[in-house]
Chain A
Amino acid sequence: MSLYSEKVMDHFRNPRNVGVIENANGIGEVGNAKCGDIMKMYLLIEDDIVKDVKFETFGCGSAIASSSMATEMIKGKPLSEVRELTNKAVAEALDGLPDYKMHCSVLAEEAIKSALEDYEKRKSE
């Protein structure tokens, strides 16, 4: 019996899409250090498609795994699909999270939404 599923541990141990995109055109940061979780998402969007995505996360194992999984789920996807991503889908893709860790998947959804908002804002400027 372990705390996390194999999927969570895999994404935690080998997080996908870690890092920074220097020329990102959508950046979102959510969470706060007081609660122990901060997620930062960098999006590079071209022709309404997420061409590249990277993340930086300060947080527990499930926060890192949720960030990693979320980036995989939106990479190469059209914005119409990306906007539909829910925290539940992220958690399910990870084969579930413990109840008290569900907020990590919420943060991942919010981080992406926040990066998308930033992208829209930049576009309208």
Chain B
Amino acid sequence: MIYADNAATTKMSDAAIEAMTACMKENYGNPSSLYGIGQKAKEALEGARDEIVKAIHAENFREIIFTSGGSEADNQAIRSAAELGRTAGKMHIVSTAFEHHAVLHTLKKLEKEGFEITLLDVHENGLVRPEEVEAAIREDTCLVTIMYANNEIGTIQPIREIGAVCRAKNVIFHTDAVQAVGHISVDVVRDNIDMLSASAHKFHGPKGCGFLYVKKGIKISSLIEGGAQERGKRAGTENVPGIVATAVALKDAVANLDKNAEITVKKRDRLIEGLKEIPHSAINGDEKMRLPGNVNFCFEGIEGESLLLLLDDKGIQASSGSACTSGSLDPSHVLLAIGRVHDVAHGSLRLTINEETTDEEVEFMIRSVKEVVEYLRSFSPIWRDLTEGKKQFIL
């Protein structure tokens, strides 16, 4: 089996599993209790928080709120900034067309509540332009939220520059860094970030765990009311085993980040080079400014779900932005945002590898994708029309 869907989720690291199970067995106290085992759990919790602070170069442990994952962190960050905005009479938010749905759907809701949302173009290369962020910011803008790296096409945004623009304009800047944290260098101070969302299962940690970084001085509101956990910003007994495992996984990921990225980028580039040989195909998103493990292509004349099923038969686990894989009629909003037309967007393939992917696996994936695309094209009426000149090739 070749697992090439690391952007969907990653396998937990042994160290994270061990830390998690050890915590479950031996450190089961409630961190809010004042007796010994409660305080021991509290220690584990705060130790984990300190590791997160270090990993993203935050300045203070109070800047980290543990959440159930990236989606909750996104919701909380955006909701909080919107509430601050509403109080100040600022009801405008700037974001992009290719954000994760955790962001887009939250913004949609806010729109119904009276906010005005500007979604910036991400252009053909899938990159936001800082000068366009600057131009979009108005007197009444209360938040700019732009993802660090895109989950589908992997493009890495000029976050530092965008952050600088927001600082200069005195607007809160949130970034959904779910795909970036643990994979590329993230430094909340260097990158001028006010709020950042992360998810543990994207960096070999457990599912259902994540965190929100909130720069000191920004007032955050809670989504979940109840106890005083997370300094009153997130009620509910902390998921201590998950949080401990998150910290272990992130520490490892950050410690090996440069080494892993270097290895992965080489394999990614070989995979891209190999898939480019398929006629009438195109890479989605900027070829270089992308996550180390992300490869995303469109193949004209075929549909993505059938491609995935046949790759699965060959033992390759991948993903697609095809409508059929999402249960909706429209293909991926990300591919549409970079200007791919429906016909082509249906034939997309995302392979997200990591440092453990072998060279043999890369070659096998190239061969397999070539074979399957050729096979599906052999009985595709669209492909026939294209090759017979009845329709114009798009790619």
Contacts and interface: CB of A to CB of B under 8 A. Distances in A.
Interface of A: 9, 12-13, 15, 18-20, 29, 33-40, 55-61, 63-64, 100-101
Given A33-B382, A36-B346, A58-B302, 20 more contacts: A9-B309, A19-B379, A33-B342, A33-B343, A35-B323, A35-B342, A36-B342, A38-B380, A56-B380, A56-B381, A56-B384, A58-B301, A58-B380, A58-B381, A58-B383, A60-B303, A60-B304, A60-B306, A61-B306, A63-B303
Contacts of A58: 301-303, 380-383
Secondary structure call for the B interface: helix
B327 interface: yes
Interface string B320-341: 0011100101010000000000
Contact of B331 (A36, A59, A61): A36
B209 to A, nearest CB: 25
B305 A60 contact: yes
Contacts of B306: 12, 59-61, 63-64
B197 to A, nearest CB: 30
> What interface size band does chain B fall in?
20 to 34
Interface of B: 301-306, 309-310, 313, 322-324, 327, 329, 331, 342-343, 346, 379-384
A64 B307 CA distance: 12
Contact of A37 (B302, B303, B304, B379): B303
A94 to B, nearest CB: 15
A13 B375 CA distance: 11
B327 A29 contact: no
Given A35-B329, A36-B331, A36-B346, A61 B380 contact: no
28 contacts: A9-B309, A13-B310, A29-B381, A33-B346, A34-B342, A36-B322, A36-B323, A36-B324, A36-B329, A38-B382, A56-B379, A56-B380, A56-B381, A57-B380, A57-B381, A58-B303, A58-B380, A58-B382, A58-B383, A59-B303, A60-B303, A60-B304, A60-B322, A60-B324, A61-B309, A61-B324, A100-B327, A101-B324
